[in-house]
Amino acid sequence: MLDLSETEACRKALRDTDVVYNLAADMGGMGFIENNKALCMLTVLINTHLLQAARELGVERFFYSSSACVYAADKQTDIANPGLKESDAYPALPEDGYGWEKLFSERMCRHFSEDFALTTRVARFHNVYGPWGTYEGGREKAPAAICRKVAEAVMTGRREIPIWGDGEQTRSFMYIDDCVEGIQKILFSDVTEPLNLGSSEMVSINQLVDIVEDIAGVTLKRSYDLTAPKGVRGRNSDNTKIQELLNWQPSISLRDGLEETYRWIYDEMSQQRYAKAA
């Protein structure tokens, strides 16, 4: 366990290492991102110091996990988002704080490749979810938060669910197994430019709730908090480039991924309730 914002910790982590997967960041769901912009920006220390250590120690390949938050906000104002192309990151107008840090770190990777011959690969993640992820505490993302809220409604018998925004905002969500496979394909490819890594199955938050309700076998009354953090109005992944260059894209359906995620979160919450009762 190391604090990778510190230079010496990065050297220690990378010693005798050929391949680096940089997945480290101080981040969370939209509530965290909108209220902790400085903390998100400070993540730049992690990637900067890891790149420096990778260069010093002769690392062969370096993977950087970027984010769809790098995309220009004016490309995400419509719920019927046609899909964000890799070129939509410029002219730059990313998510304030977190998005700017990710975009800057992408450029760092590019220039370390150009100037120091360090092989770097970059993927722009689109909302990764699945079992073993954070589902409470303020850093969870929408799929885990919805699963938790539905599970709470089932366990307590209170058939209500709070939803941030009007529920019409759209996103795509990528199951963790697809994410892992995509990372490997991108890292060991010859593609030097950042690539989208996300599902193109776009849904509204209301539709996301519909799916989880169906999995849980309940129908809940919905209350909408229009003052809560909502993020951009519409976001989806255009997978044209990853299909063309790698002949691959995420394939696990949202329904299948949510079923696994909901069952795991429900079981975790049940164990917590049992432990408290005991």
3-class SS at 44?
A: helix
* Inter-residue contact 32 to 4 (CB < 8 Å): no
Q: How confident is the model at residue 275 (pLDDT cuts 50, 70, 90)?
A: confident
CATH number belonging to domain 11-272? 3.40.50.720
Please list the helix, strand and coil fractions of the chain in percent, rounded to the nearest 5, in that order. 50, 15, 35
Q: For the segment 246-263, what is each residue's pLDDT rounded down to a tens digit?
A: 999 999 999 999 999 999
Nearest to 80 by CA among 164, 200, 202: 202
Domain ranges of the chain: 11-272
Q: For the segment 56-83, what is each residue's pLDDT rounded down to a tens digit?
A: 999 999 999 999 999 999 999 999 999 9
Q: pTM value? A: 0.95
Nearest to 57 by CA among 102, 123, 8: 8
67: enclosing H helix or E strand: strand 61-67
Residues annotated as part of the active site: 98
Q: How confident is the model at residue 108 (pLDDT cuts 50, 70, 90)?
A: very high
pLDDT score at 276: 80
